[in-house]
Structure formats: C-alpha cells, structure tokens
Amino acid sequence: MGRFRDALAHDGLQGIAEIKRRSPSAGELRPHADPAEIALAYERAGAAAVSVLVDERFGGTWDDLRAARANAAVPLLAKGFFSSEDDLRTARDAGADAALLLLRDLDDATCADLLRVADSLGLDTLVEAHDAEELDRAIALGAPVIGINARDLATFAIDRREQLELVSHARLVFQKHKAAGARAPLVVAESGIHSRAQGAAAELAGADAILVGSALMTAPDPAARLRELLSRPLVKVCGLTREEDVAAAAEAGADLAGFILAPESPRASTRVLDVPETMLAVAVWVGEAGESPADLDQVHPREDGKVRGRDAAVLRDGTQVATLLDLPWEEDDPQHWQRAAAARGRVVLAGRLGPDNVREAIELVRPWAVDASSRLETAPGVKDHARVRAYVEAARS
C-alpha cells in the first residue's frame, strides 16, 4: 500500500482536493492558480491528498505537478488521460504518488498492464468508473482504489443519485471481500460535491473519500472551502413542520433537516418537506420506518407511556449508518454527554441542545452530528429563526 492509498484509509471521510485552472464543462475556474501555493494550503487545511490536472485541456502541465511536489508533502495524484508506461514514468518522475486510470479510455488488458507497471514503479492508482459496467470492470481488475465519477465525461452531465447507488453497491461487494479475508478496495466519490451534506451522503453510502475540484477552485479561498466541506459535526434541525422553517435552517447553514412522522409527537409533520441540495432530509419514526422521500431514516423504539424510546438507529436504505443518542423522553440524565463520548462509531448527539450549550457538548463528545429541536422553538413544531441561526453558528464555529 502506497502513500496515496494509506492517506485515504484513515477513519472518517477523507478529502482529495484538486488543482485545475479550467474545466471543459465550466470553462475558466482559476486561470492564474499557483499550484505550489494551493497544494500547501490544501495540505494545511486537512487534505488527505491533492489531485493535480496535468492536461492542457484543464490548463495544466507536468510543471504544475512538479511545483506542487516541491512545496507540499501531501500525497499527489497525477490526473490526466494516461495510456502508456511512459505516462506513468513521467508522473512518478514529476513527483506523483498516484496516477489516474480512466476505464472509459482503457480496455481491460491495457488497464491491467498499467496497474502492474504502476505497482512496479511504486505508484498507487485511482481507477475511475462512471457506470455499473465500468465499476464491475474495476472490481474484476482488482483495483486497490476505485473512483466513481458522478460526471459523464461525454456529456458532462452530473448524476449524483446514480453515483451514490454505485458507491453503495461497491461497498456491499467489498464487505464480502473483507469477510473472505481479502483487503477491500477503497472508494472515492468524484464530482458534484458542493456542500457538507453532499459529502456526507457519499460517506454514508460507503465512500472512503471525496474528490472535490470545481467547488474549491471557484471559492474565494479554496483551502477554507475544503476545511468547511470536511468539518464535523454536521448540524441537524429536527421537528420541522413548516416550509419557512426549513428555509431558515438551510440559510443558517444546517446540514440535516428532521421531519417527525410519528403522529403522537407534539412536533409531528404530515410529510417530509422539500429541502435544498445543501441539506439531507431525515424522516423520524417510532417503531419502524415507513415510506418517504427522505435521504435517511431515524428509527426510535417504542416505549410504553412515552412518545418514543430513548435512542435511535439512523438508516440509509435500511442499513444502519449512525446512532442517535438522546435523553429519555421528558427525563434527564446527568451522564448523557459522558455516555455519548464513550460511544463508538458515528454518533448523532441530541437531547436539549441549543445555542448556549451545543459548543460545550461538541467539545466533550466530538460527535459526527448534533441535533436540536425543542430549544429552537416558540411552540412545538414552530421554530424561532433567531435561535436556529444562533444554534447553527455555535455548532459550526
């Protein structure tokens, strides 16, 4: 395993930050970008690796890779349209730790040869697939790191839903690899990620890392934008019943919107309301999950005499991806935060959080997400927009 793959194998969602001056689909992005300066800034912002476009169609050259290598220690991915041993040798000599192999442009025999050459040169590879057929090919080739691109390179259209389905499929296949004692490939979700919620959607589908380019290169400060996309905890506003409250939560910067579909709750909603692309919708159930258009389900157990049981499983397509730890219904627990801090895996911390205490809770628990509802209200199911803004600002500070 080389430096590139090692960097992506760490716990939590990793980020590959890209340097490109232009895009065939979007035109000029940052025509005067300095790759040395940006690579170092990405490294300091927490990038696991940096992708450098070396193809002139993206405004790149091999000198960009050399400049990035001279100024930053982070693993570098050489990105271009590579098809020969000479391409890989050039990438290695220019300072790359890994090289892109596009299955769209390579048949299986050629890709297999390039994988062997890369291994002999000490290069990792990112084998990129766009559709189910290419993903199956990448798996059959034994690619150690597989990128799943939401962008169709022929039409430049983005299909994030299809990407997430492919990521999820790959993760299920790789779980069988692990069960058989084999080392599972890593999965990178590429393109179309512009918000923390979109990155989280890829993470929960099973991606080990996201590769982000245009969203960074068009930002006033690319490194600050990267830091924001990778930052945790995510912020959830729950008990939403009104469209204007969803809009206020989104404008404040919340990542998750919760809709309680249990009629017995004082904050029950009749349906999951529409949310913008910057948010994921969470349907909250008691007993078992029903049908809804939500991205995630949060399922509490039933408990006699109470609206809900204490904790909940957070599910994606029926598979648990996180655990919500809450207070008992209308009860207190002085050890609640300590209990949450000791929990393993992705923790969503709930339980009377608000603007005044969410920062303290985050410092103690270090959760994957925080969840607030009742302390953001003027009445059950009616949010106070000033409190919502203050809560989100405190959680993201």
Which pLDDT tens digits describe the chain residue by residue (397 residues)?
A: 699 999 999 999 999 999 999 988 888 989 999 999 999 999 999 999 999 999 998 999 999 999 999 999 999 999 999 999 999 999 999 999 999 999 999 999 999 999 999 999 999 999 999 999 999 999 999 999 999 999 887 788 889 999 999 999 998 888 876 666 667 899 999 998 999 999 999 999 999 999 999 999 999 999 999 999 999 999 999 999 999 999 999 999 999 999 999 999 999 999 999 999 999 999 999 999 999 999 999 999 999 999 999 999 999 999 999 999 999 999 999 999 999 999 999 999 999 999 999 999 999 999 999 999 999 999 999 999 999 999 999 999 9
Q: Which of 215, 152, 272, 155 is nearest to 15 (CA)?
A: 215
Active site residue 149: yes
The answer to whether 228 is a known catalytic residue is no
Domain ranges within the chain, ordered by starting residue = 3-230, 234-396
**Which distant-in-sequence residues (6+ apart) come within 8 Å of 323 by Cβ?**
311, 312, 313, 314, 343, 345, 346, 347, 348
User: Does residue 236 carry a catalytic annotation?
Assistant: no
Q: Which two tokens stand for residue 260?
A: 């309680």
State the pLDDT at residue 153: 77
Which candidate, 70, 63, 62, places its Cα nearest to that of 43? 70
Instruction: Kindly name the residue from 149, 214, 265, 373 that is annotated as catalytic.
Output: 149
Tell me, yes or no, if 18 is annotated catalytic. Answer: yes
Write down the catalytic residue from 43, 190, 203, 377: 190
* Known active-site residue 288: no
Q: So what's the pLDDT on residue 201?
A: 98
277 is catalytic: no
Q: Is 247 exposed, middle or buried (0-12, 13-18, 19+ CB in 10 A)?
A: middle
Q: Which of 43, 128, 203, 377 is catalytic?
A: 128
3-230 shares its CATH topology with 234-396: yes
Cα 275 from Cα 267, distance rounded (Å): 18
The enclosing H or E element of 389 equals: helix 385-396
Longest Cα–Cα distance of the chain, Å, equals: 71
Amino acid at 10: H
pLDDT value for 179: 66
Q: What is the pLDDT of residue 140?
A: 94
| Given the residues 51, 191, 214, 269, the one annotated as active site | 191
Quick one: fold of 234-396?
TIM Barrel (3.20.20)
d(Cα 31, Cα 20) in Å, to the nearest integer? 8
Q: Which residues are bridge partners to 377 per DSSP?
A: 383
- CA-CA distance, 245 to 250, in Å (whole number)? 9
Q: State the amino acid at position 173 in one-letter form.
A: V
Active-site residue, selected from the candidate residues 79, 203, 236, 373: 79
Structural fold of domain 3-230: TIM Barrel (3.20.20)
Whether 265 sits among the annotated catalytic residues: the reply is no
Q: What is the pLDDT at residue 25?
A: 80
Which pLDDT belongs to residue 155?
Answer: 81
Contact 376, 392 (CB under 8 A): no
